[in-house]
């Protein structure tokens, strides 16, 4: 459900639907407009913000309903996840089916989910004004990275419950390289969010060059460089491309090292997966870039995001399977 929610967030962003609902009501907001008067009121509220005035001024009510759907579904899925978590949790806890050592981590997981919802609203609020036609791409990146952190924490928690320590191999060098790749991937995910938030792909939709060049023009004044790293779409795209190549090369190095491990180690079955995923991810990224102005842009970009999510999860698994057995113990052991 969390993976679906992240993909729904990507679709919401790519279709420009994120500002369609201008109010945040955690309870009553679950109910969409149910009659013509309610739809008219909702549409009128949307007409007061800059996105409608400057980008979608030609929208009919039917057009508005189409973008409203994705934002509503994104919010509704979040509410559903909360219910799917909290109801079984309370029932199992009351019945004594959950060990005491698991209650705090599970409560923390639920709190992280709630915090992610609050971050999402803070992000959305940045575009509900008379000047901005989209949300802050920096707030968007925070929202996206926090979702990936939540997903990784959930997977790590599952691994601690389901994988016995005896199946993990102590591979400190491989683990350090795995950690390096995860750090690079975190930066890459940050710039992927910047790409989506600034529509940077539209500024240079060519490959392997960028509109005939391989290096974006840079003003090497310190303040200008820092500004470019956060706001210049050409620089953002250049960094995103470069990191993709660097991550692919680093994962290939990890793969070569992983080939030397014992065939009996649990990690052995995972060693080729990161390599396959990163190659797929790079390929999808290229196709998403060169088709950024076409009808296929949304589907290619969502597939690109999905593969990036799988790559992150795979690297979390490989990190866990190469952990130091003495450092980590499963809950209850």
Q: Do 109 and 220 lie in a common domain? A: no
Residue 158 resides in a domain:
no
- Indicate the pLDDT class of residue 261, thresholds 50, 70 and 90: confident
pLDDT (tens digit per residue) in 302-323: 999 999 999 999 999 999 988 7
Co-location of 277 and 328 in the same domain = yes
Mean pLDDT taken over the chain: 88
Under DSSP, the state recorded for 268 is G
Q: Give DSSP secondary structure letters for 56-112.
A: -TT--HHHHHHHHHHHHHHHHHHHHHHHHHHHHHHHHHHTT-S-HHHHHHHHHHHHH
Same domain for 130 and 275?
no
Using alpha carbons only, what angle is made at residue 8 by residues 128 and 199, rounded to the nearest 5 degrees?
Answer: 60
As a whole number, mean pLDDT of residues 270-288 equals 94
Answer whether residue 8 is part of any domain: yes
Q: Kindly state whether residues 84 and 197 are assigned to the same domain.
A: no
Does residue 274 register a pLDDT over 60? yes
* pLDDT greater than 50 at residue 332: no
Q: What are phi and psi of 66, to 5 degrees?
A: -70, -35
- Give the tens place of pLDDT for each residue, 16-73: 898 888 877 766 567 888 899 999 999 999 999 999 988 888 999 999 999 999 999 9
* Host domain of residue 57: 1-135
Q: Which of 67-71, 150-154, 218-222, 277-281 has the lowest mean pLDDT?
A: 218-222
Give per-residue pLDDT as tens, 97-134. Answer: 988 889 999 999 999 999 998 898 888 888 888 888 88
DSSP designation for 269: G
Position 328 scores a pLDDT of 45
For residues 89 and 181, state if they share a domain: no
Convert the pLDDT of each residue in 61-94 to its tens digit: 999 999 999 999 999 999 999 999 999 999 999 9
Mean pLDDT of 317-331: 69
Q: Which residue has the higher pLDDT, 214 or 159?
A: 159
Last residue in a domain, options 84, 118, 135 = 135
Give the whole-angstrom CA distance, residue 258 versus residue 36: 61
Same domain? 74 vs 188? no
Do 143 and 120 meet the contact criterion of CB atoms below 8 Å apart?
yes
Same domain, 112 and 225: no
My answer on whether 177 and 310 are in the same domain is: yes
CA atoms within 13 A on the CB side of 315: 33
C-alpha–C-alpha distance, residues 8 and 11, integer Å: 5
Is 120 found in the same domain as 18? Answer: yes
Q: Which pLDDT score is estimated for 21?
A: 87
CA dist., res. 322 & res. 28, Å (int): 47
CA distance 133 to 51: 4
Specify whether 48 is located in the same domain as 121: yes
Rg of the chain over Cα atoms, rounded to whole angstroms, equals 22
DSSP string of 248-267, one letter each residue: HHHHHHHHHHHTTS-TTSGG
The token pair that represents 300 in the structure block: 């290619």
> Number of structural domains, the chain?
2
- Report the pLDDT value the prediction gives residue 26, as an integer from 0 to 100: 67
Beta bridge partners of 210: 213
170 and 121 co-located in one domain: no
Residues 246 and 314 in one domain: yes
């Amino acid at each position: 459900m969390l993976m679906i929610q992240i993909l729904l967030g990507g679709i919401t962003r790519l279709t420009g639907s994120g500002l369609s609902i201008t109010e945040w009501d955690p309870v009553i907001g679950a109910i969409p407009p149910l009659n013509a008067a309610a739809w008219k009121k909702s549409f009128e509220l949307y007409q007061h913000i800059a996105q409608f005035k400057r980008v979608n001024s030609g929208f009919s009510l039917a057009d508005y309903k189409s973008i409203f759907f994705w934002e509503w579904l994104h919010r509704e899925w979040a509410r559903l996840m909360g219910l799917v978590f909290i109801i079984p949790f309370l029932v199992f806890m009351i019945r004594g089916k959950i060990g005491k050592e698991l209650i705090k981590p599970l409560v923390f997981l639920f709190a992280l989910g709630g915090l992610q919802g609050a971050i999402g609203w803070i992000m959305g609020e940045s575009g509900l004004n008379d000047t901005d036609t989209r949300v802050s791409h920096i707030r968007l990146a925070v929202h996206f990275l926090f979702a990936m952190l939540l997903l990784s924490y959930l997977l790590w928690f599952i691994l601690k419950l389901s994988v016995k320590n005896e199946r993990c191999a102590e591979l400190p060098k491989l683990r350090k390289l795995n950690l390096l790749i995860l750090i690079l991937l975190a930066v890459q995910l940050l710039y992927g969010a910047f790409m989506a938030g600034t529509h940077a792909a539209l500024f240079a939709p060519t490959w392997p060059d960028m509109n005939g060049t391989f290096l974006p023009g840079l003003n090497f004044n310190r303040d200008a460089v820092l500004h470019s790293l956060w706001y210049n779409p050409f620089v953002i795209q250049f960094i995103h491309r470069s990191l993709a190549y660097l991550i692919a090369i680093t994962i290939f190095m990890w793969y070569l090292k992983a080939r030397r491990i014992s065939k009996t180690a649990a990690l052995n079955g995972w060693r080729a997966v990161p390599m396959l995923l990163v190659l797929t991810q790079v390929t999808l990224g290229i196709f998403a870039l060169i088709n950024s102005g076409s009808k296929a842009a949304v589907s290619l970009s969502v597939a690109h995001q999905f593969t990036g999510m799988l790559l992150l999860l795979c690297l979390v698994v490989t990190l866990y399977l190469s952990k130091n057995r003495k450092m980590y113990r499963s809950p209850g052991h």
